[in-house]
Amino acid sequence: MRNIKLTICYLGTNYHGFQVQNNGITVCEAMQNAIERIFGKRYDIKGCSRTDAGVHANRYCLNFFAATEMPLWGIKKALNAVLPDDIAVQCAEDVPEDFHARYSCKGKRYLYKIWNCDYKNPFLQGLAYHYFRTIDLVQAQAVCDIFVGTHDFAAFCGGKNTQEDTIRTITACGMRRSGNLVEFYVEGDGFLYNMVRILVGTVIAVCENRLNLQDIPRIMKLGVRRVECKTMPAWGLYLDEVFYE
């Protein structure tokens, strides 16, 4: 049995997240279907993260054990031939037996894309959030700087969060602009349910003067979600990179 790691990318628009669910098709199910067509067996897949419905991925890692002698280039080519057009295998690798896409992961980077303009962009529908007020990047960066470090992010996660330990370490966070496209980026050792989308919502709240910069440390210390820190729509969020040793 070989432990095979796949690096994939996908548009999440048509999927109810990665993890298999009863209420709709997921990326995991689409991958399992493709793998079963190629290998004749329905192998168990381990994913690196449970992305929400509508969230995209520039790079997503998964692994599965398979009894096959097919070369890696052949696995990549065969899977890409049968996968839906909104999912692609970028790389196939043999990894050690103890590799696990989730538990071997040391960190992730997420992006949130915002079309920051007074008119909509039809070419980014479903791919970026449209926000018509000009974002002050200096003000936004001041908020992002507060997030960097090891903190309790209980106040910045959704109500469906099931993780008791809400302390996470953020190693990089900021906002950058390229024309009318603004990207929020954040890297860390792990993220809570809806955490990234709520962090973006918090930045927007400060830029709109609905929150003061000084409010953020107090919110973090109290661990209580504020209504101003809204959860941004899923379609602007991308899992951008997954880090392993």
Residues 18-23 have a mean pLDDT of: 83
Tell me, yes or no, whether 31 and 76 share the same domain. Answer: yes
Determine the structural domain holding residue 33 and report its residue range. Answer: 2-94
Residue 102 in any domain: the answer is: no
E-assigned strand segments in the chain = 2-10, 46-47, 56-66, 87-95, 107-116, 129-131, 149-152, 167-178, 181-188, 237-243
**pLDDT for 155 beyond 70:** yes
Instruction: Give pTM, 2 decimals.
Output: 0.94
Residue 88 in any domain: the answer is: yes
Name which residue leads in pLDDT, 24 or 60.
60
Residue 100 in any domain: the answer is: no
Q: State how far the Cα of 199 lies from the Cα of 193, in Å rounded to an integer.
A: 11
CATH of the domain at 26: 3.30.70.580
Tell me, yes or no, whether 137 and 88 share the same domain. Answer: no
Length of the chain equals: 245
Tell me, yes or no, whether 13 and 70 share the same domain. Answer: yes
Tell me, yes or no, whether 124 and 228 share the same domain. Answer: yes
Tell me, yes or no, whether 142 and 169 share the same domain. Answer: yes
199 to each of 74, 143, 161, how far by Cα in Å?
41, 9, 15
* Catalytic positions, written as ranges: 52
pLDDT digits (tens, 9 = 90+) for 73-91: 999 999 999 999 999 999 9
Tell me, yes or no, whether 89 and 111 share the same domain. Answer: no
pLDDT digits (tens, 9 = 90+) for 160-215: 666 679 999 999 999 999 999 999 999 999 999 999 999 999 999 999 999 999 99
Tell me, yes or no, whether 124 and 9 share the same domain. Answer: no
Q: Is 193 one of the annotated binding-site residues?
A: no
Tell me, yes or no, whether 124 and 166 share the same domain. Answer: yes
